Amino acid sequence: MSRRQIAMVMDLNKCIGCQTCTTACKTQWTNRSGREYMYWNNVETLPGRGYPANWQDSGGGFDAAGNLRPGRIPNLERDYGMPVELNYSKALGPLGGRQFGRNAEAPSSFDDGRPPLAPVIKPKGGPNWDEDTGAGEYSNSYYFYLPRICNHCTNPPCLQACPRKAIYKREEDGIVLIDQDRCRGYQHCVAACPYKKIYFNPLRGKSEKCIFCYPRIEQGLSTACAQQCVGRIRFVGYLDDEESPVHQLVKKWKVALPLHAEYGTEPNVYYVPPLSPPKYDSEGRLTDQRRIPDEYLIGLFGPLVPGVLQTLLEERDKQRRGEGSELLDILIAYRHEEMFTLDADYYRRGDQASAAALARTPSSAGASQSECAGMMSHAAQSGGAIPAVLDARLQQRLNNLQVAAGNGGGDDGAA
Ligand code: SF4
Ligand code: SF4
């Protein structure tokens, strides 16, 4: 148990599925080779298969007795989808359309026999593959967006499954990180995480994951995904801070619920479940049934969902009557900065324990600050280009490692 726990609340009534958060995270942390398929933050359309495909059926987490449940490691081609490489040079000319300087040959039209810009290999799946598909029959069809990051669980099975003890939970704020020096890439953590929020980097032979932007958090800044969120759906703060909207939504109003609490990991990302418009009957008249079935939302966020939706409706009605609603004022988030209650001084002050923990993080997190600087210089050297997709050799290596992990690769005894 950490001394404090940082947490995030996402209001699903406000997410517009724009993927700005996904891009903010991708450009900040994972736009380097070996990470093409990684989305530490992804936004999926539900009902849908999600990313990686069918992660909700991939096992992991804990059983009712508190034992680790077996889980599977997703396959790159089948579950993540091969990262897409576009035929830039064929479609846009010798410079691949990436740099059109004064002397560069810029394409003028596509009527010179060149093909249109398209993927080199026809993709069969990938992140956001079933965007806006949803479920139900017109005119009662429905869908909503579910943004996902690592839940920085209070009881993380990824940590328990690692035979190298490479995964740790920070004492000062509960952020879960992978010590890159200790990780040997066995991927037991990937199998154990029921949310499939750990990714294997085949180039480095290490597992990597969301780091809750800890270098920003320590400066009192919110995570990149929350800071950039267009819909202002994300609140960030410490669960024990009564002034924080996170505390108020989770503990006081109890309208923010964890995703799949039954996995037993005690997630620290919470969701305000989505309301939906009423259904039509066969005559086209509005009914009193919600379009998104309560049973579906209960399957995600647990049995408290109907009560939460009722609270949201009652508070909305109060607001409409002009009586005002403290809850809606929080959820509307009139002032962006009030969505984040962070404390740089807390990290600066620290006590002996947190000072020791802080000394450990810069070289040991999933992507350290120095690594981030390396990424920036890599991007600068390559003209900001996103690295090429995995070649066949790397894919083979990834497959081999997955087989090895499945065959019980364990601690090799190295310190
Ligand atoms: S969401 Fe997965 S990776 Fe993150 S702490 Fe929980 S079990 Fe570990
Ligand atoms: S940036 Fe915000 S609104 Fe846009 S997809 Fe991400 S969580 Fe949703």
For a ligand 1 pocket test, name from 41, 55, 153 the mutation site with the most ligand atoms within 8 angstroms of its C-beta.
153
Q: Is residue 350 part of a domain?
A: no
Same domain, 243 and 367: no
Q: Which amino acid is at 55?
A: W
Does residue 147 line the site of ligand 2, with CB under 6 A? yes
Q: Does the predicted model carry a pTM greater than 0.75?
A: yes
Q: What residue's CA is closest to ligand 1, atom 2?
A: 193
Same domain, 146 and 268: yes
Q: Is residue 108 part of a domain?
A: no
Tokens of 220: 């009192």
CA distances from 400 to 130, 236, 391, 395 (A): 29, 39, 14, 9
Taking the CA atoms of 382, 388, 394 and 399 in sequence, report the sign of the dihedral they define. positive
> How many residues are there in the chain?
415
Q: Are 189 and 74 in contact (CB under 8 A)?
A: no
Buried b or exposed e, range 175-196, using 16+ CB within 10 angstroms: bbbbbbebbbbbbbbbbbbbbb
CATH number of domain containing 279: 3.30.70.20
Same domain, 176 and 260: yes
DSSP 323: S
Q: Is residue 110 part of a domain?
A: no
DSSP H/E element including 100: none
Pocket, ligand 1, Cβ cutoff 6 A: 150-153, 156-158, 176, 193, 195, 197-198, 209, 265
Same domain, 224 and 370: no
The C-alpha atoms of residue 359 and residue 170 are separated, in whole angstroms, by 12
What are the residue ranges in the chain where pLDDT is below 50? 97, 99-104, 107, 352, 354-356, 358-395, 397-415
- CB burial of residue 284 (10 Å; 0-12, 13-18, 19+): exposed
What total of structural domains would you count in the chain?
2
CA dihedral 321, 326, 328, 332 (to 10 degrees): 130
Same domain, 306 and 374: no
Does residue 42 line the site of ligand 2, with CB under 6 A? no
Cα 21 to middle of ligand 2, angstroms: 5
The C-alpha atoms of residue 95 and residue 63 are separated, in whole angstroms, by 54
Same domain, 306 and 378: no
Q: What residue's CA is closest to ligand 1, atom 4?
A: 150
- Give the pLDDT confidence score for residue 95 in this predicted structure: 62
Q: Is residue 102 part of a domain?
A: no
Q: Is residue 20 part of a domain?
A: yes
Helix count and strand count (H, E) for the chain: 14, 13
Same domain, 76 and 4: yes
Q: What residue's CA is closest to ligand 2, atom 6?
A: 21
Does residue 20 line the site of ligand 2, with CB under 6 A? yes
Same domain, 399 and 283: no
Distance of CA 7 to the CA centre of its chain: 13
The C-alpha atoms of residue 290 and residue 194 are separated, in whole angstroms, by 29
pLDDT tens for each residue of 220-265? 999 999 999 999 999 999 999 999 999 999 999 999 999 999 999 9
Q: Is residue 397 part of a domain?
A: yes
Q: Coil, strand, or helix at residue 82?
A: coil
Closest ligand 2 atom to 231 CA = 3
Cα 248 to middle of ligand 2, angstroms: 21
Name residues whose C-beta falls within 8 Å of residue 119's C-beta, 6 or more positions apart in sequence.
84, 85, 86, 87
Does residue 229 line the site of ligand 2, with CB under 6 A? yes
Cα 371 to middle of ligand 1, angstroms: 22
Same domain, 252 and 380: no
Q: Coil, strand, or helix at residue 396?
A: helix
Q: Is residue 86 part of a domain?
A: no
- Give the pLDDT confidence score for residue 323 in this predicted structure: 98
DSSP 102: T
Same domain, 388 and 268: no
Same domain, 272 and 383: no
For a ligand 1 pocket test, name from 6, 58, 151 the mutation site with the most ligand atoms within 8 angstroms of its C-beta.
151
By C-alpha distance, which of 242, 212, 239, 240 is closest to 227? Answer: 212
Same domain, 252 and 395: no
Q: Is residue 92 part of a domain?
A: no
To 10 degrees, what angle do helices 369-381 and 352-364 make? 30
Q: Which domain holds residue 309?
A: 1-81+115-342
State the pairing for strand pair 269-272/6-11: parallel
